Chain A
Amino acid sequence: MGIKKDLSIDYLGVRCENPFFLSSSPVGSNYEMVAKAFEAGWGGVFYKTIGIFVADECSPRFDHVQKEGMPWLGFKNMEQISDKPTEVNFENMYKLKKAYPEKIMVASIMGSNEEEWRKLAKMCDEVGVDLIEGNFSCPQMTSHAMGSDVGTNPDLVRAYSKAVAETTKIPFIAKMTPNITDMTIPAIAAIEGGAKGISAINTIKSITNIDLENMTAMPVVNGKSSISGYSGAAVKPIALRFVAQLLQNEKLKNVPLSGIGGIETWRDCLEFLLLGCRNLQVTTSVMQYGYRVVEDMSNGLMHWMDERGYHKLDDFIGSALGNIIPAEDLNRDFKILPDFSQTKCVGCGRCYISCYDAGHQAIDWNADKRRPELNEKCVGCHLCLNVCPVANCITPGEIKWKDGREKVGVALKKSYE
């Protein structure tokens, strides 16, 4: 029943039934969880990171950021890598692969020295996982020899990638930390070391809220707290930026990328695919809503493909990447004046307030009619359009060319949801 489209994709030589994977996190920690996720429709799992180190966790360990009643805009997590014995985790992965041969099992591993990385890679080889991801990016490890402290050091990333690549033929993916200015440096180091793929991004170091009872950050652990990883919808823009920068790099442009960061809906999935990702990883929305979120990712993406006449993901992967260009290359010869719908306007005056206090005082307020009136000071910034609470009330209108500039055809966005 319902729409059917082919969502399968080749990712690092592995055929995946769809690009929707759980990222290495609490959502894929044991056999029962992963089995349920597979039944729900996920194409594969990056099983929760395994190390020789076994984590000793604090309580509580989560917090979230809200704005105007909307919870979970961003999510803070203090969990480290798996707290289960290494052998138990490998056994789970082995059993899962046997029970679900069509699903893709990715082992996420983290060592604290070359020897540990080799040892973990060898265990992955013996279990027969499909892919291996190196966690160079967890920002809340209790050891500085692991996690994002490693990920910001290109020499260590290169050396550990090499250690894995020399140990096993299973393709190795390096997971990047966003707690760095230029992600291409460690990404290139990983590829030089022998990694075949890159995933981005892991969580961002954060303090979400200050607790006024205990005068510390959230969550409160015996009156104290720590800086730790931030994820969820709020980080998607940052993730997309890193993804674009990686794929626009000459040395990385052909490296299969797995996109991570704030994915909740099919639209989010599509955005990562349009930048060129071949795989998608999700945790935070599963923590909030459960494995079932994959149903609408899959169905919604199929409907979009149907609408556009696409038959497979490769028909559109990367379509948006080339249109993201350096700021200096943008056409700056024109401005687009906003058009105000007199019938849709409800007379709230928010456009007036924002334009006056944060824009260019280009809107006069007609107090009798309770309507905005655009004056000649408008620079076409569209702050008014962004602040208007009514759909398609303020829309792009007349194009004005700066004096002496050459007129060209202008591609416009016409509809705002």
Chain B
Amino acid sequence: MSKVIKSTYVSEAVDGFTPRTAMEEASRCLLCHDAPCSKSCPAGTDPAKFIRSIRFRNVKGAAETIRENNVLGGSCARVCPYDRLCEEACSRCGIDKPIEIGKLQRFAVEQEEALHMNVLQVPATKKGVKVACVGSGPASLACAAMLAQEGYEVTIYEAEEKAGGVLTYGIAPARLPQYVVDHDISTVKNLGVKFIFNTKIGKDISMEALQKEYGAIFIGVGLWQEKLPEIPGVGLPGVLAAADFLKKARKSGGSYHPGNRVVVIGGGNVAMDCAVSAKLLGAEKVDIYYRRTIEEAPADMAEFQYVLSLGVSITTNFAPAEVLGTDKVEAMRFKGRDGVSEAKVMVDTVIFAIGQGADDMTELAPFALNEKGLIKVDDFCKTNIDGIFAGGDVALGGKTVVEAVASGKIAAVHMMNYLAKKEVK
């Protein structure tokens, strides 16, 4: 019999390091010249430096290195696809297995909190220029933190009641516990960034009003539009889109029960998060169906392994064909990729994790959109509208948290350039 992990919705998937085990892991680090790990982070994190600090007993220095570069260092430590970024580049792979860089980053950030460090500081002299960030996901938070550190007065507008965007509402807490997100956000708050909740731009406040009040605006609202396939029966109760399901689960704190038989359709990390959440929320049977192969799937291997360890099944090469049921969903019918195979599965809840779309952003302002319907930006995160920048998923499509952070930082740099030029005029 295979040993399946029994866990709860809010318990963490992996235990962190203690000071001793962190030192043991850091001691495995080869302390490379021109370290390849440090060249592989989209957000510019320098693992070689912070691991060396841990190795030389300077844990505070390690935390400082991480936080100065990435205001979401705690969250990224949990959700980054390390196995295809820094850890894949690790020279230690040539000996046995890579250094657990993500886990060491998590350790350093945990120590930052335990030791009550305040790494990021606001400058004594303020710029006296107001900037707004719309949405409070990773891109907006990174953008806001960078601007605040340079003395700008930043206000974040969030449609939900809590900050974090996808971090708070779109990832299973087993992978990203809320306290980790909250700690990251507290470092942004400590920089004097103002948060205004339950306020949707375009509904509660108009974009024009925002443009009048703020010198520059960053749009980082993410992708929240439910995407469902056009197949028969998709409108039946019991059929959910991933974003909707994950948000419901997170908001319930673990009390939401999705039914006993859950089918998740998709092959990305969001699908894995849905399956993990459904299982940990108490579903007896959770099955993932994906239309292609594991090799073609965008999800990280670590996530596949984790869902398997919980006892979730994964069936590949089957695409959804029809949702069956009268008053609510009762079964799912799938068609094989070979054109011959078929499957029919009894089910209480069907979750489609097949990508999210953006709301129609032209309703907000006359944005130019790209072919995917996302806000069109240049390399500097500039939109077609003067003074408005955009980044994160709403401009890049569904990318990783660390890529959202990177784009928020790029936007911040160019917003500062823009504001400096505007002042000169």
Q: A300-B60, A303-B61, A417-B19 are in contact. Are A292 and B52 (CB under 8 A)?
A: yes
**Nearest Cβ on chain A to B417's Cβ, whole angstroms:** 20
Q: Which residues of A contact B52 (CB under 8 A)?
A: 292, 295-296
Interface bits B393-408 vs A (CB < 8 Å: 1, else 0): 0000000000000000
Whether, in the assembled complex, B158 has its beta carbon less than 8 Å from a beta carbon of chain A, the answer is no
Q: Which residues of A contact B33 (CB under 8 A)?
A: 290
In chain B between 92 and 107, which residues have their CB closer than 8 angstroms to a CB of chain A? none
CA distance A346 to B164 in the complex (A): 38
Q: Which residues of A contact B18 (CB under 8 A)?
A: 391
Centre residue among B33, B49, B53 by max chain A CB count within 10 A = B53
Q: A1-B68, A391-B19 are in contact. Are A296 and B61 (CB under 8 A)?
A: yes
When the two chains form their complex, are residues B53 and A299 in contact, meaning their CB atoms are under 8 A apart?
yes
> Size of chain B's interface in residues, with CB distance under 8 A?
16
When the two chains form their complex, are residues A300 and B64 in contact, meaning their CB atoms are under 8 A apart?
no
Q: A1-B68, A300-B61, A391-B19 are in contact. Are A266 and B56 (CB under 8 A)?
A: yes
Residue in chain A with minimal CB distance to B63: A303
Q: Which residues of B contact A300 (CB under 8 A)?
A: 53, 56-58, 60-61
Select which of A2, A70, A293 is within 8 A of B56 by beta carbon. Answer: A293
Q: A2-B64, A2-B68, A3-B64 are in contact. Are A299 and B58 (CB under 8 A)?
A: yes
When the two chains form their complex, are residues A265 and B58 in contact, meaning their CB atoms are under 8 A apart?
yes
**Nearest Cβ on chain A to B50's Cβ, whole angstroms:** 10
CA distance A293 to B27 in the complex (A): 14
Whether, in the assembled complex, A350 has its beta carbon less than 8 Å from a beta carbon of chain B, the answer is no
When the two chains form their complex, are residues A296 and B53 in contact, meaning their CB atoms are under 8 A apart?
yes
Q: Which residues of A contact B60 (CB under 8 A)?
A: 3, 299-300, 303
Q: Which residues of B contact A296 (CB under 8 A)?
A: 52-53, 56-58, 61
**Nearest Cβ on chain A to B24's Cβ, whole angstroms:** 10
Q: A70-B27, A265-B57 are in contact. Are A299 and B19 (CB under 8 A)?
A: no
Q: Which residues of A contact B64 (CB under 8 A)?
A: 2-3, 299, 303
Whether, in the assembled complex, A79 has its beta carbon less than 8 Å from a beta carbon of chain B, the answer is no
When the two chains form their complex, are residues A303 and B58 in contact, meaning their CB atoms are under 8 A apart?
yes
Q: A289-B31, A299-B61, A300-B61 are in contact. Are A264 and B56 (CB under 8 A)?
A: yes
CA distance A172 to B33 in the complex (A): 37
CA distance A267 to B19 in the complex (A): 15
In chain A between 257 and 294, which residues have their CB closer than 8 angstroms to a CB of chain B? 264-267, 289-290, 292-293
Interface residues on A, range: 20 to 34
Interface bits A294-308 vs B (CB < 8 Å: 1, else 0): 011101100100000
Whether, in the assembled complex, B425 has its beta carbon less than 8 Å from a beta carbon of chain A, the answer is no
Q: Which residues of A contact B68 (CB under 8 A)?
A: 1-2
Interface bits A1-37 vs B (CB < 8 Å: 1, else 0): 1110000000000000000000000000000000000
Q: Which residues of B contact A297 (CB under 8 A)?
A: 56
Residue in chain A with minimal CB distance to B62: A296
Whether, in the assembled complex, B20 has its beta carbon less than 8 Å from a beta carbon of chain A, the answer is yes
Interface bits B37-76 vs A (CB < 8 Å: 1, else 0): 0000000000001001100111011001000100000000
**Nearest Cβ on chain B to A184's Cβ, whole angstroms:** 32
**Nearest Cβ on chain B to A293's Cβ, whole angstroms:** 7
Q: Which residues of B contact A2 (CB under 8 A)?
A: 61, 64, 68
Q: Which residues of B contact A70 (CB under 8 A)?
A: 27
Residue in chain A with minimal CB distance to B21: A391
When the two chains form their complex, are residues A267 and B53 in contact, meaning their CB atoms are under 8 A apart?
no
CA distance A264 to B58 in the complex (A): 11
Centre residue among A267, A299, A391 by max chain B CB count within 10 A = A299
CA distance A299 to B52 in the complex (A): 12
Q: Which residues of B contact A295 (CB under 8 A)?
A: 49, 52, 61
Interface bits B359-401 vs A (CB < 8 Å: 1, else 0): 0000000000000000000000000000000000000000000
CA distance A289 to B61 in the complex (A): 18
**Nearest Cβ on chain A to B56's Cβ, whole angstroms:** 4
Interface bits A67-88 vs B (CB < 8 Å: 1, else 0): 0001000000000000000000
CA distance A303 to B112 in the complex (A): 12
CA distance A380 to B227 in the complex (A): 68
When the two chains form their complex, are residues B20 and A266 in contact, meaning their CB atoms are under 8 A apart?
no
**Nearest Cβ on chain A to B17's Cβ, whole angstroms:** 11
Residue in chain A with minimal CB distance to B49: A295
CA distance A417 to B19 in the complex (A): 7
Q: Which residues of A contact B49 (CB under 8 A)?
A: 295
Residue in chain A with minimal CB distance to B56: A296
CA distance A405 to B41 in the complex (A): 63
Residue in chain B with minimal CB distance to A267: B57
CA distance A297 to B57 in the complex (A): 9
Interface bits A360-387 vs B (CB < 8 Å: 1, else 0): 0000000000000000000000000000
CA distance A3 to B120 in the complex (A): 10
Q: Which residues of B contact A3 (CB under 8 A)?
A: 60, 64
Interface bits B18-38 vs A (CB < 8 Å: 1, else 0): 111000000100010100000
**Nearest Cβ on chain A to B425's Cβ, whole angstroms:** 31
Q: Which residues of B contact A266 (CB under 8 A)?
A: 56-58
In chain A between 101 and 148, which residues have their CB closer than 8 angstroms to a CB of chain B? none
Q: Which residues of B contact A391 (CB under 8 A)?
A: 18-20
CA distance A144 to B269 in the complex (A): 71
Q: Which residues of B contact A299 (CB under 8 A)?
A: 53, 58, 60-61, 64
CA distance A87 to B222 in the complex (A): 68
Residue in chain B with minimal CB distance to A288: B31
Centre residue among B18, B33, B60 by max chain A CB count within 10 A = B60
CA distance A381 to B162 in the complex (A): 54
CA distance A391 to B21 in the complex (A): 10
CA distance A70 to B68 in the complex (A): 32
When the two chains form their complex, are residues B19 and A265 in contact, meaning their CB atoms are under 8 A apart?
no
CA distance A288 to B27 in the complex (A): 13
Centre residue among B33, B53, B61 by max chain A CB count within 10 A = B61
**Nearest Cβ on chain A to B34's Cβ, whole angstroms:** 12
Q: Which residues of B contact A289 (CB under 8 A)?
A: 31
When the two chains form their complex, are residues B56 and A265 in contact, meaning their CB atoms are under 8 A apart?
yes
CA distance A292 to B68 in the complex (A): 20
Interface bits B239-271 vs A (CB < 8 Å: 1, else 0): 000000000000000000000000000000000
Interface bits B65-91 vs A (CB < 8 Å: 1, else 0): 000100000000000000000000000
**Nearest Cβ on chain B to A393's Cβ, whole angstroms:** 11
Interface bits A335-378 vs B (CB < 8 Å: 1, else 0): 00000000000000000000000000000000000000000000
CA distance A292 to B56 in the complex (A): 11
CA distance A221 to B349 in the complex (A): 75
**Nearest Cβ on chain A to B9's Cβ, whole angstroms:** 25
**15 A-B contact pairs sorted by A residue (CB < 8 Å):** A2-B68, A3-B64, A265-B57, A265-B58, A289-B31, A293-B56, A295-B61, A296-B52, A296-B56, A296-B58, A299-B53, A300-B60, A303-B58, A303-B60, A391-B18
Q: Given A266-B58, A296-B56, A296-B58, 14 other A-B contacts at CB below 8 A?
A: A3-B64, A265-B58, A266-B57, A267-B57, A289-B31, A295-B52, A296-B57, A297-B56, A299-B58, A299-B61, A300-B56, A300-B58, A300-B61, A417-B20
Which 6 A-B residue pairings sit nearest by Cβ, starting from the closest? A300-B58, A296-B56, A303-B60, A299-B61, A296-B58, A265-B56
Binding site for A on B (CB under 8 A): 18-20, 27, 31, 33, 49, 52-53, 56-58, 60-61, 64, 68
